[in-house]
Chain A
Amino acid sequence: MNKVVKDAEVAIHDIQDGEVIMLGGFGLCGIPENCINALVKKGTKDLTCISNNAGVDDFGIGLMLKTRQVKKMISSYVGENAEFERQLLSGELEVELIPQGTLATRCMAAAYGMPAVWVRAGVGTEVAIGKETRVFDGVEYLLEMAFKAKFAIVKAWKGDTHGNLIFRKTTRNFNMPMAMAGQITIAEVEELVPAGTLDPDHIHVPGIYVHRIFQGNNYEKRIEQRTVRK
């Protein structure tokens, strides 16, 4: 049951060009920094990335955009990245925008083994175009499909050798649903401990969802909008 791999390079070694991958985090909060760096180093191309955001120019997924490794982004909000905008306007990058809750719920559907879910978000808007609809109790819903991603890459605070994960504060965000939605889930953690060390009552993601785990290093944990009280 030991799921520990040496480092990010080993963890992502079999992610091929053209793969669909999920990347956890919200903005720059709780992103899998080590794995992103390893993907940049490996140079994997034509990736479809399912991620709430697309990083900033010199951090997060922005690093993979700079090296032109991303073919398509599936996100809810992508505003903080000039290189992203350039590639989008020049047609180099394809973007599919999805309501944030729908994005999370399509992960959840995959995590819970459900093929699709009915949601209200987007009814009557361009998001509904081409989608099956159904009325329940007089309210119209859209059919949204579970994501099918070969790899999910997430970052947790603590993890154990069985792949059990614990997150800190608002880093649970998309890391938790994505960790449970990938066919192969790779988790990088700030602190890796032997199985039996974490309190079983405190586990957020049970290890059954996690296939590879390693202790990351040199976390920068960049803050996107540093705001303080006056």
Chain B
Amino acid sequence: MLDKIGIAKRIAQEVKDGSYVNLGIGIPTLVANYIPKGVNVTLQSENGMLGMGPFPIDGEEDADLINAGKQTITEVPGTAYFDSALSFGMIRAGKVDLTILGAMEVSENGDIANWKIPGKMVKGMGGAMDLVAAAKNIIVAMQHVNKAGESKLLPECTLPLTGVKCIKKIVTELAVLEVVPGKGFVLLERAPGVTVEEIRKATAGKLVVEGDIPEMVID
């Protein structure tokens, strides 16, 4: 079974050299720390920046330079700034190659719910609906089951949707799965030490197991 860093490390293997990537808040943010050497990516922050660097060293924070999580960050050589309309313009136009974000639920046809729990304080969708509606490739980083022990990979989402038929791949503490509409959650890899049966038990939606399922290789 993987911890959060393990999930981030596995997703980092999906990032292609020369790509533009938008990282959501939480585990997705950690992915930036584990991108393999020799793979150059440009991080897009939807509040208006391409080429997002690491957090500043203490004392060099700049209130005018934050990411979409409102954290202080830095530039890298080649950074470009722009406004929110242009930022979502490039997202909408499919210029961002990969979006990595968290989710509360994903359905077997690729629907995602990650912004609202009825009855609880609703903070808003931020840029999540725009991102899932537009990105060419979306990977979800999440736990396989919620805190109540219920599967987050469902036949249909029960929570209000963020987007429909948009999720392509899911990486959890148990598995890597491809979402194939009309087919279900196709199991690609098992986390170290995790059996297919354990994954099946934690998956409420249709799990497709074809042949031998390899174990993930993570440094």
Chain A interface (Cβ < 8 Å from any Cβ of B): 26-30, 52, 75-80, 85, 88-89, 97, 99-105, 107-108, 111, 119-127, 157, 167-177, 204, 221-229
B66 touches A125 (CB 8 A): no
- Min CB distance, B20 to chain A, in Å? 16
B164 touches A27 (CB 8 A): no
Question: Looking across the interface, which residue of chain A has its beta carbon closest to that of B60?
Answer: A228
- Indicate whether A223 sits within 8 Å of B88 (C-beta atoms), given known contacts A175-B83, A228-B56: no
The 6 A-B residue pairs with the shortest CB-CB distance, nearest first, are A101-B88, A101-B130, A79-B123, A124-B164, A176-B83, A221-B63
Q: State which of B49, B61, B122 has its C-beta within 8 Å of the C-beta of A170.
A: B49
- Indicate whether A223 sits within 8 Å of B63 (C-beta atoms), given known contacts A28-B70, A104-B85, A121-B134: yes
Q: Is B148 an interface residue (CB 8 A)?
A: no
Chain B interface (Cβ < 8 Å from any Cβ of A): 45-49, 54-58, 61-73, 75, 81-85, 87-89, 91-92, 111, 121-131, 133-134, 160-165
- Indicate whether A29 sits within 8 Å of B47 (C-beta atoms), given known contacts A107-B85, A169-B81, A225-B71: yes
Task: Determine the distance from Cα of A175 to Cα of B68 in the docked complex, in whole angstroms.
Answer: 15
A27 touches B129 (CB 8 A): no
A26 touches B47 (CB 8 A): yes
Q: Which residues of A contact B121 (CB under 8 A)?
A: 79, 85, 88-89
Task: Determine the distance from Cα of A80 to Cα of B61 in the docked complex, in whole angstroms.
Answer: 21
B47 touches A221 (CB 8 A): no
- Indicate whether A76 sits within 8 Å of B124 (C-beta atoms), given known contacts A105-B85, A177-B83, A227-B55: yes
| Interface residues of B, dominant DSSP | loop
Q: Which residues of A contact B70 (CB under 8 A)?
A: 26-29, 80, 224-225
**Number of residue pairs A-B, CB distance < 8 angstroms:** 183
B65 touches A169 (CB 8 A): yes
Q: Which residues of A contact B45 (CB under 8 A)?
A: 170
- Min CB distance, A74 to chain B, in Å? 11
Given A80-B70, A100-B46, A105-B88, 18 other A-B residues pairs in contact with their CB atoms under 8 A:
A29-B64, A76-B125, A78-B123, A97-B122, A100-B130, A101-B134, A102-B130, A104-B84, A105-B85, A120-B134, A121-B92, A124-B165, A125-B162, A169-B81, A173-B48, A175-B83, A177-B84, A227-B73
Q: Which residues of B contact A111 (CB under 8 A)?
A: 85
Q: Which residues of B contact A157 (CB under 8 A)?
A: 64
Task: Determine the distance from Cα of A221 to Cα of B62 in the docked complex, in whole angstroms.
Answer: 9
A225 touches B124 (CB 8 A): no
Task: Determine the distance from Cα of A73 to Cα of B87 in the docked complex, in whole angstroms.
Answer: 23
Task: Determine the distance from Cα of A42 to Cα of B133 in the docked complex, in whole angstroms.
Answer: 42
B163 touches A100 (CB 8 A): no
- Min CB distance, B85 to chain A, in Å? 4
23 pairs of residues in contact across A and B, judged by CB atoms under 8 Å: A26-B48, A26-B84, A28-B70, A29-B47, A77-B125, A99-B127, A99-B130, A101-B84, A104-B87, A120-B92, A120-B133, A121-B134, A170-B81, A173-B84, A176-B83, A176-B85, A223-B72, A225-B66, A225-B71, A227-B61, A228-B56, A228-B57, A229-B57
